[in-house]
Amino acid sequence: MQFYTELQHLDLSQNHLVSIPMKNFAYQRKLQELHLNHNKISSVTNTTFQGLNSLTVLNLKRNFLEELTNGVFSTLPRLEELNLGQNRISKIEPRAFAGLSALRILYLDDNELSSVPTTSFSLLGSLAELHVGLNAFSFLPDDAFAGLNRLAVLDLNGAGLFNISDFAFRGLPGLRSLNLFGNRLSVVPTQQLSSLTRLEELYIGQNDFIVLESHSFKGLKNLKLIDITGATQLKRIEKGAFEDNINLESIVLTNNKELSTIEDCTLLGLPKLRHVSLRDNAIKVLSESVFVGKELKQLDLTDNPIICNCKILWLQQLLNEKSNFSQVQCASPENLKDKYLKTLTAEDLECVLYDSRRQTIICIVGFACLAVVATLLLILYRYRKSMQEKLKDYKWNKGRKNLEYHKPISTEEDCIVRGIHPSQYPAPPHAPGLRPIPLELYASPSVFFMSGGQGSARRPQRSGGGGTMPANGFTYIGGDGRHHQPQTLNNGAPAHHLNNGSLRSLPDKKNRNGVVCHPENFQRNLDTRYSRKQENGYIRNSETIIGFPRDREREHDYERDVPDYSEPEYSIIPESYGRPEDFPRSCSRSNTFNC
């Protein structure tokens, strides 16, 4: 061709060319594109394209080429795109691509390569796109594409891959798009893909995996598009399958005939998600929590056997809000079959609680009940101690016999007779086991405690006199249930007793309000006291009783139980409370007191 020296574009495609003579294009030095596709060319050599120094595009697609020899394209220093697809190439010599330092796009798809020509590819340092699909690789070894540091697009569509080595994609730091569509992978190659941190597009449909597990695409943080189309065995997508892909904008899950389950929240946490295609799957029910529909710009759910009931009401509302969403037809129940979901109402979907006013009322009542319960709990917590005390008193009162109580016939209510109660007034540490006396007497410096039976008691003595008389300011009172006459201690001092419940009342004494307390008032009070206790069977032996002004803060003390004492005990009472010899001996708890 010694003519057309200014020719820049030449298309000889779809002819019946069988071969190209040597140096046939020697005078087309300005030629930039040469299309020889759809011919019957079976071989080319390093002289075939001699003279095409300006050529940038060479298309040899769909010919009968079987082999690429060393340096076959060495005369094309500016070549940027080479299409060798749909040939019969089964062998590529190591230096076949020598001299193609400017090559950016290479098509070797649909040939008969059984392995990746790694050595040949390593000479293509500027390569950005590599299409090697529809070959018979079956396996990708480690570093299969070593040296292709600028590779951005790798197409392995239909490459017959069953297995991919863990480091097959090592050395591809700039890869943006990967096509693994139409292979025989049984699981998602999560580990192998994790090194492609800049990957933005992944096509992985028509493989043999059954489930997309959680974190299936771990490490692909820049992924924007994922396409899983035609995975005939895919049945379920688990929650968290896309959790690591927060920059996803489009998800295509179409024509997966077994895909019926997309777990709740599967597509949540993807703030940039705008396009979702779930067309032609086996989805019957889709939960509202699968994704946030209001953020989507496009949703395609056509050709799914959707069951139209109340669970799908959210989708009906969404379709009415979004005009660019696809139409959805009902597959069941029978009365709604083939009807468009968008045209149905809440009543058609049997949503009896859809009425917004009813929902509002239910919510208000529910919150009100919660508020009341919370308030009651706070009140109970605030007053828990006082309520516990009241509950204890209630249980104690409930267990007691409800006896009639007679108020003392006296206008001097400050005068009262109390039983000495050991549990209320415990014995002081220096005299354990003695009959306790009221706390008011503990404070007196004149009180002394001693105990003993038959003359074993010790008591304070006056200075001098041989120790036979009580110390000044002290009176000794003792009691037991066996003797009626005064005892004599081992030192000869008299011990006055209250025997068998006989009363020795205190003399007249003014209370703190200046009212005179008469003995007969003590008699009546004590009579009532003894009567109640006798009915309850609390008093079986003797009890020492003393009289003193009533402490209003402990009025209830006189109702407490009185213990049973079988051993004689002695209490020393200050003389200021009255001497025992002043107590009448004729008073008995069983008599009507006339003391």
Q: Tens digit of pLDDT for each residue in 368-404? A: 898 899 888 888 888 887 877 777 777 666 665 555 5
**Which own/partner pairs from 363-366 qualify as long-range (CB within 8 Å, at least 24 positions apart)?**
none
| Residue range 241-262, pLDDT digits in tens | 999 999 999 999 999 999 999 9
Percent of the chain residues topping a pLDDT of 70: 63
Say what the pLDDT of residue 314 is: 86
* Average pLDDT of the residues in 134-155: 96
pLDDT over 90 (residue 501): no
* Average pLDDT of the residues in 178-204: 96
Pairing state between β 474-479 and 569-574: antiparallel
Say what the pLDDT of residue 399 is: 61
Among residues 498, 494, 495, the alpha carbon closest in space to that of 543 is found at 498
Higher-confidence residue of 542 and 353: namely: 353
* Average pLDDT of the residues in 113-128: 96
pLDDT band at 206 (very low <50, low <70, confident <90, very high): very high
* Average pLDDT of the residues in 286-314: 86
Question: Checking phi first, is residue 350 left (phi over 0); if not, alpha (psi -120 to 50) or beta?
Answer: left
pLDDT over 60 (residue 175): yes
**Pair 175, 199: CB distance under 8 Å:** yes
The domain ranges of the chain are: 1-136, 353-380, 409-582
pLDDT over 80 (residue 519): no
Question: Where is average pLDDT lowest: 181-190, 290-299, 522-531?
Answer: 522-531
Say what the pLDDT of residue 284 is: 92
Question: For residue 356, with 0-12 CB atoms within 10 Å meaning exposed, 13-18 middle and 19 or more buried, which class applies?
Answer: exposed
pLDDT band at 424 (very low <50, low <70, confident <90, very high): very low
* Average pLDDT of the residues in 302-330: 87
CA 183 vs CA 188, 209, 535: distances in Å? 11, 11, 100
Higher-confidence residue of 504 and 142: namely: 142
pLDDT over 70 (residue 367): yes
CA distance 571 to 345: 94
Expressed in angstroms, the distance from the first to the final Cα of the chain is: 158
What the block records as the tokens of 558 is 């006189």
Say what the pLDDT of residue 356 is: 53
Dihedral angle computed from the Cα positions of residues 476, 480, 484 and 490, in that order, rounded to the nearest 10 degrees: -50
Question: 3-state secondary structure string, 524-580?
Answer: HHHHHHHHHHHHHCCCCCCCCEEEEECCHHHHHHHHCCCCCCCCCEEEEEEHHHCCH
**Pair 243, 219: CB distance under 8 Å:** no
Cis status of the peptide bond prior to 563, with omega within 30 of 0: no
Determine whether domain 1-136 maps to CATH 3.80.10.10.
yes
Question: Where is average pLDDT lowest: 34-38, 393-397, 433-437?
Answer: 433-437
Give the chain's mean pLDDT.
75
* Average pLDDT of the residues in 204-221: 96
Say what the pLDDT of residue 463 is: 42
CA 131 vs CA 98, 151, 152, 174: distances in Å? 18, 11, 11, 16
Residue with tokens 């307390």, as numbered in its chain: 517
Highest average pLDDT, of 279-283, 436-440, 466-470, 517-521, comes from 279-283
Answer positive or negative: Cα dihedral of 70, 72, 77, 81: negative
Among residues 175, 226, 223, the alpha carbon closest in space to that of 204 is found at 226
Percent of the chain residues topping a pLDDT of 90: 46
Say what the pLDDT of residue 397 is: 65
CB contact set of 38 (below 8 Å; sequence gap of 6+):
13, 14, 15, 61, 62, 63
pLDDT band at 433 (very low <50, low <70, confident <90, very high): very low
pLDDT band at 160 (very low <50, low <70, confident <90, very high): very high
Say what the pLDDT of residue 366 is: 82
Higher-confidence residue of 354 and 495: namely: 354
pLDDT over 70 (residue 543): no
pLDDT over 90 (residue 487): no
Say what the pLDDT of residue 322 is: 80
* CB neighbours of residue 228 within 10 Å: 25
Q: Which H helix or E strand runs over 155?
A: strand 153-155
Residue with tokens 């037991």, as numbered in its chain: 480
Say what the pLDDT of residue 5 is: 84
